[in-house]
């Protein structure tokens, strides 16, 4: 059996681990554009020099050798011939019996004039991007970050390393991290960042990136006529799946490769996992999908049982925050209760004695239980009157062997 895995990040690497555990003898080939295995979630730590490339590697350096895997690194997939069962790169072809597409995603570049053409415009997607950002940041005075999601804010924090930098963040939304947080918890971070000199431009409409005669970035122009000085621009406006090579395969695609609950695509013997699927571009889900795909590739039926992906955790400026489920009501049938403590904040979104979402900032000690209650839609008696005084021990039992388990 020839297993071929396209991609060497969360989904691909965990698929390889699982394939080798389940099948000790068959051939495994990994083809990846990346020449290193590393956690993209940790790239901002390389910007700040708190970590090195080696320190954000999430497997042993000899992982491929340990697992008897042939790794074809530094190659881009150009096509798949489903009839001949062949993967094509720029200069080689590889035969497969079972194929996993885990090619991840690339930065989505918005249609802003000159954004694609200017020098010193960067994404935050791979280690080469990070090295370029670090090199330019050392000798720059002004940087504009476009986008205020997790990637943009991570980049912002990483750039604090370069104390001479004036940092501005321009974004379309009303407040930063609007997909993860509510307005209050976002404002706590915004105010802390402002104390460090960061300037925010919410609800911004960017007209163009201003370039000099050498096409070097000199500024960012808004539709209202305001222009921000910029020696460099960082784009953090989301991602798009790396799936340009699907033409002619018949693999169905809708903002990501379509898969079933066994991670199989619409073509026999071809599976997909991770960001290329386009569901929720988060690490834990990519890991789960890679594992499930591997089981099914070796013929052991397994389904994705837990796709709960609506949990985000962050810790900026030593303030931990976690959002779970729905952080803003989708309609008037939901109720919201909030409580502000001295050093913490709690917000719950609920309906009919069931918690559908929460945002917790400061004391996050019981969010594991809270996640369970939200994910499983556990009904809690008299919830509205008890929501801030729930005894989370009520939801545990102790097994005969002394282990704790949920009782609901």
Q: Which residues have C-beta within 8 Å of that of residue 161, sequence separation ≥ 6?
A: 47, 48, 49, 137
In terms of Cα–Cα distance, which of 376, 275, 281 is closest to 324? 376
* 270-272/98-101 β-pairing: parallel
DSSP conformational letter for 324: E
CA distance linking residue 370 with residue 366, whole number of Å: 6
CA distance linking residue 399 with residue 291, whole number of Å: 29
- pLDDT value, residue 403: 56
Tell me how many degrees the CA angle 265-179-108 measures, rounded to the nearest 5: 55
Give this prediction's pTM: 0.90
Fold of 311-406: Enolase-like; domain 1 (3.30.390)
- pLDDT value, residue 341: 86
CA distance linking residue 124 with residue 113, whole number of Å: 20
| Lateral strand order in the sheet of 227-229 | 206-211, 217-222, 227-229
CA distance linking residue 363 with residue 179, whole number of Å: 21
| Lateral strand order in the sheet of 199-201 | 121-123, 232-235, 142-146, 166-170, 199-201
Q: What CATH class does 121-235 carry?
A: alpha beta
- pLDDT value, residue 381: 85
DSSP conformational letter for 109: P
Residue 80 β-bridge partners: 87
Q: What CATH class does 2-106+239-297 carry?
A: alpha beta
Over the stretch 167-186, which tens digit does the pLDDT of each residue have? 999 999 999 999 999 999 99
305 CB burial (10 A radius; 0-12, 13-18, 19+): exposed
- Give DSSP secondary structure letters for 7-60: --SHHHHHHHHHHHHH-SSSEEEEEES-SS---GGGHHHHHTTSS-TGGG--S-
SS3 302: coil
SS3 316: strand
Q: Report the half-sphere exposure of 266 (CA within 13 A, side-chain side).
A: 12
In terms of Cα–Cα distance, which of 78, 90, 88, 73 is closest to 13? 73
SS3 337: strand
User: At what angle are helices 10-22 and 283-297 packed, to 10 degrees?
Assistant: 30
List of the chain residues with pLDDT < 50: none
Q: Which residues have C-beta within 8 Å of that of residue 343, sequence separation ≥ 6?
A: 362, 363
In terms of Cα–Cα distance, which of 266, 270, 276 is closest to 243? 276
Structural domain boundaries in the chain:
2-106+239-297, 121-235, 311-406
* Helix or strand run (H / E) with residue 229: strand 227-229
Q: Do domains 2-106+239-297 and 311-406 have the same CATH topology?
A: no
In terms of Cα–Cα distance, which of 67, 61, 62 is closest to 28? 67
């Amino acid at each position: 059996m020839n297993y071929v895995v396209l991609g060497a990040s969360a989904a691909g690497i965990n698929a390889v681990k699982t394939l080798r555990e389940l099948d000790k003898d068959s051939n495994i080939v990994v083809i990846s554009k990346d020449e290193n295995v590393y956690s993209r979630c940790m790239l901002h730590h390389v910007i700040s020099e708190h970590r090195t490339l080696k320190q954000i590697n999430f497997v042993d350096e000899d992982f491929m050798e340990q697992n008897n895997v042939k790794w074809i690194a530094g190659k881009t997939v150009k096509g798949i011939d489903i009839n001949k069962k062949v993967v094509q790169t720029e200069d080689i072809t590889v035969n497969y019996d079972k194929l996993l597409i885990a090619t991840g995603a690339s930065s989505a570049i918005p249609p802003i004039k000159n954004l694609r053409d200017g020098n010193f415009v960067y994404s935050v997607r791979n280690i080469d991007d990070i090295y370029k950002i670090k090199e330019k940041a050392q000798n720059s005075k002004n940087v504009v970050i476009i986008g205020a999601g997790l990637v943009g804010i991570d980049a912002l924090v990483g750039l604090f390393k370069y104390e001479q930098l004036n940092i501005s963040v321009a974004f379309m939304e009303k407040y930063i991290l609007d997909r993860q947080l509510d307005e209050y918890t976002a404002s706590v971070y915004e105010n802390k960042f402002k104390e460090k000199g960061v300037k925010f431009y919410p609800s911004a409409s960017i007209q163009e990136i201003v370039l000099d005669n050498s096409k070097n970035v000199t500024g960012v122009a808004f539709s209202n006529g305001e222009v921000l000085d910029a020696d460099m621009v960082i784009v953090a406006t989301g991602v798009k799946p790396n799936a340009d090579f699907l033409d002619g395969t018949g693999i169905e695609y809708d903002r990501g490769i379509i898969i079933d609950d066994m991670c199989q695509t619409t073509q026999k013997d071809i599976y997909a996992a991770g960001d290329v699927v386009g569901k929720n571009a988060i690490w834990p889900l990519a890991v789960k999908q890679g594992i499930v795909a591997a089981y099914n590739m070796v013929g052991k039926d397994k389904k994705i049982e837990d796709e709960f992906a609506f949990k985000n955790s962050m810790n900026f400026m030593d303030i931990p925050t976690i959002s779970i489920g729905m952080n803003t009501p989708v309609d008037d049938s939901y109720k919201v209760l909030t409580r502000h403590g001295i050093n913490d904040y709690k917000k719950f979104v609920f309906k009919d004695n069931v918690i559908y979402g929460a945002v917790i900032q400061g004391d996050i000690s019981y969010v594991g239980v809270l996640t369970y209650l939200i994910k499983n839609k556990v009904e809690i008696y008299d919830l509205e009157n008890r929501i801030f005084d729930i005894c989370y021990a009520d939801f545990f039992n102790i097994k005969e062997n002394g282990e704790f388990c949920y009782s609901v």
